[in-house]
Amino acid sequence: MRTWRRCLDAAGVQGDTARADFSAAARYTLRKHFEGWGPMQVLAPPESLPHIAAAVALARYTDDLCDSGPVEGRTQRFEEWADHVGTALQTGSSEHRLVRAYLYSADLLNLSRTWIDAYIAGTRADLEFPGFAQDADYQRYVDTVSLPSFMLGIEVVPRLVPEQSFVSSVRLLSEGSQRADHLTDVFEDLRGGRLYLPVSDLDRHSVTRADLEQGLDTAEVRALLSAAACSARASLVEGERILGEVAPEYRPVFRFVIGVFHKRLDDVETRGVAIIRRPYHDGKVTGLRLLARSRRMGASTKALPGYAGSGTPAARPS
């Protein structure tokens, strides 16, 4: 039976304060990211869990500062927080539990500042999100926001390939998962005043922002959503090569994550314009099935069966 104490022991976390800080990070991650943290506790090696929790909690807390409270105060709150994190990284100390947990991980694993600095910089740029005029703008967003966020959470994962190759694969997964999220979140994003689909894509399909805001069911809107899902699917399928680039014990985690985003794209294809008319939520039963299948396939370098690389969902076993 896996226990949190065993995870802390396996990770080499010593001292009451450090263990308490990691526990606080795990509780925060569970509260803010239950749909991801629950499966992680089943699939990830126990020695990695405290370090993953520390990174994810720090990222989630940072996101919360940017996404909650009065809009006019968000930039100031973020800059104060970014200054605090920067000082903590320089000095190796902090009065904030979540920051201390990350500092302990960084010291224990000898992590560089590359991805935490890139994540903070990307979050700062995203505060004043202007929308995407062209796909090139979207690609810059993936490079500056999505990729650093993804890498921050998986720095603990041992690589079997050179770092550049690994990052290239993560970049594919970052793009595919980000595109999938922007499709499933489009209803809520529009009501928050944001649209993450490039304007050039809307123009190509003769769709206006008002069409999406009104949830119009037209051939043009359906074609736009289908094309966006196809682009996301292509990146995910190409990124599946990462299953052969990580240590065997981490493959179930990546297989599950990839499977979740494929399932979301399946739902986009199945629901059509309904995806822009109401909030989207992952199916709990489906998630449990993905988890079980990911675990059962173990160290295999194969992704979950039942997905087509063409952007069209394949028939899937029950």
245-258 pLDDT, tens digit per residue, is 999 999 999 999 99
| Separation between Cα atoms, residue 263 and residue 163, nearest integer Å | 29
Question: Above 50 in pLDDT, residue 212?
Answer: yes
pLDDT score of 36: 82
| Separation between Cα atoms, residue 201 and residue 214, nearest integer Å | 18
Question: Above 50 in pLDDT, residue 314?
Answer: no
pLDDT score of 18: 96
pLDDT score of 287: 87
Query: Mean pLDDT over residues 100-114, rounded?
Result: 95
Angle formed by the axes of helices 4-11 and 49-67, to 10°? 100
Q: How confident is the model at residue 71 (pLDDT cuts 50, 70, 90)?
A: low
Q: How confident is the model at residue 308 (pLDDT cuts 50, 70, 90)?
A: very low
Determine which of 3-7, 220-224, 280-284, 298-302 has the lowest per-residue pLDDT on average: 280-284
Phi-psi domain of 272 (left: phi exceeds 0; alpha: psi -120 through 50; beta: other): left
Question: Above 90 in pLDDT, residue 310?
Answer: no
pLDDT score of 300: 96
Mean per-residue pLDDT of the chain: 92
pLDDT score of 316: 37
In the chain the domains, ranked by start, together with CATH numbers, are 1-128 (1.10.600.10), 130-318 (1.10.600.10)
**More confident site: 279 or 129:** 279
